[in-house]
């Protein structure tokens, strides 16, 4: 049905399902001019609304795909955006290409500070969610061991004051497409207004978890590049706070999934509580 709807609307296109770098269902409309992708969500999905608002906000920034149209049809929401030619940046880390990985982490730092976190929350801005340090009652996560809950509460018992900026919510090489030494940031459905440390911490957490052999060097490159365009204070304590916060929020999102997934994220929580990320 989705294919029929797209073929009717874009009569001279050939449809190709995409994988890698896009979440939800994404279909390339070959033959379109410019070349575009249809990203498809279920109707009433708040993530689709968030992505539409962010892409619209960033439409002339060059840091994200240009949005052309969005519509609902037969119980689905469609976002039509530029197709980004290139390679998902995470592939270079998986291949152990440290030279290219250094370039990517420098670009990640520059674009995050200069093009994304430079957008400040103001009254009257697009109605995106406010993303707080913690959005849930930790005690409601019944499958998290009590000793871990107590450690989390101690770490999150901190007052962090700062101006709210646009945050991506899942920023990192896995959501960056590299093309001709430029990157384009995709998948904005977890975005909102919040402390910029949420994105900064997640980049550092991600590389420490998945690429420990490169983590110190790439984190330093990322922080140095980011700090050229921002005076945000980045310390091990603050990165730990926002990393733990994000893992807890993921644990809340997956509380109804299978035991294997929950156990993996409990392992990641324990690892996060024990890991030093900066310095």
Q: What is the mean pLDDT of residues 1-25?
A: 75
Residue 253 has a pLDDT of 87
**Residue 46's pLDDT is what?**
84
pLDDT of the residue at 75: 84
Enumerate residues 6+ apart whose C-beta is below 8 A from 118.
165, 229
Whether residue 63 contacts residue 185, with contact meaning beta carbons closer than 8 Å, is answered with: yes
Is residue 32 classed as helix, strand or coil in its secondary structure?
coil
Is the model's pLDDT at 24 over the cut of 60? yes
What is the mean pLDDT of the segment spanning 194-219?
Answer: 97
Label residue 23 left, alpha or beta by phi (over 0 means left) and psi (-120 to 50 means alpha). beta
Residue 22 has pLDDT above 60, yes or no: no
Distance between CA atoms of 71 and 80, rounded to whole angstroms? 9
**What pLDDT shows up at residue 158?**
86
Q: What percent of the chain has pLDDT over 90?
A: 68
Tell me: the pLDDT tens digits for 122-180? 866 778 889 988 878 899 999 999 999 999 999 998 888 788 999 999 999 999 999 88
2-82 placed in CATH 3.10.129.10 = no
Give pLDDT, residue 20.
Answer: 57
Over range 96-106, report the average pLDDT. Answer: 96
**Are the beta carbons of 62 and 226 closer than 8 angstroms?**
no
Among candidate residues 26, 139, 136, 11, the one with its CA nearest the CA of residue 88: 26
Q: Model-level pTM?
A: 0.91
Q: What are the domain boundaries of the chain?
A: 2-82, 87-274
What is d(CA 170, CA 178) in angstroms, rounded to the nearest whole number? 17
- Tally Cβ neighbours within 10 Å of residue 264: 11
The CATH code of the domain at 87-274 is 3.90.1200.10
Alpha-carbon span 232 to 162, nearest angstrom: 9
At 57-78, the pLDDT tens digits run: 998 888 999 999 999 888 889 9
């Amino acid at each position: 049905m989705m294919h029929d709807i797209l073929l009717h609307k874009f009569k001279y296109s050939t449809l190709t399902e995409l994988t890698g770098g896009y979440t939800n269902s994404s279909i390339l409309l070959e033959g379109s001019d410019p070349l575009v992708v249809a990203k498809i969500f279920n109707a009433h999905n708040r993530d689709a609304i968030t992505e539409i608002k962010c892409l619209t906000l960033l439409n002339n920034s060059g840091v994200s795909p240009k949005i052309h149209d969005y519509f609902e049809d037969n119980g689905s929401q469609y976002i039509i955006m530029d197709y980004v030619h290139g390679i998902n940046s995470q592939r270079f880390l998986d291949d152990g290409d440290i030279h290219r990985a250094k370039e990517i982490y420098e670009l990640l730092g520059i674009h995050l500070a200069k093009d994304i976190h430079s957008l400040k929350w103001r009254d009257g801005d697009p109605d995106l969610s406010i993303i707080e340090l913690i959005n849930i009652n930790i005690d409601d996560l019944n499958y998290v061991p009590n000793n871990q809950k107590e450690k989390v509460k101690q770490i999150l018992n901190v007052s962090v004051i700062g101006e709210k900026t646009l945050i991506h919510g899942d920023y990192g090489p896995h959501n960056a497409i590299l093309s001709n030494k430029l990157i384009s940031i995709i998948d904005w459905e977890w975005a909102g207004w919040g402390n910029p440390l949420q994105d900064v911490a997640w980049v550092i957490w991600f590389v420490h978890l998945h690429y420990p052999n490169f983590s110190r060097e790439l984190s330093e490159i990322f922080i140095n590049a980011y700090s050229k365009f921002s005076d945000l204070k980045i310390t091990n304590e603050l990165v730990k706070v926002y990393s733990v916060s994000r893992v807890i929020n993921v644990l809340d999102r997956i509380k109804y999934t299978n035991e294997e997934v929950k156990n993996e994220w409990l392992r990641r929580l324990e690892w996060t509580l024990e890991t030093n990320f900066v310095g």
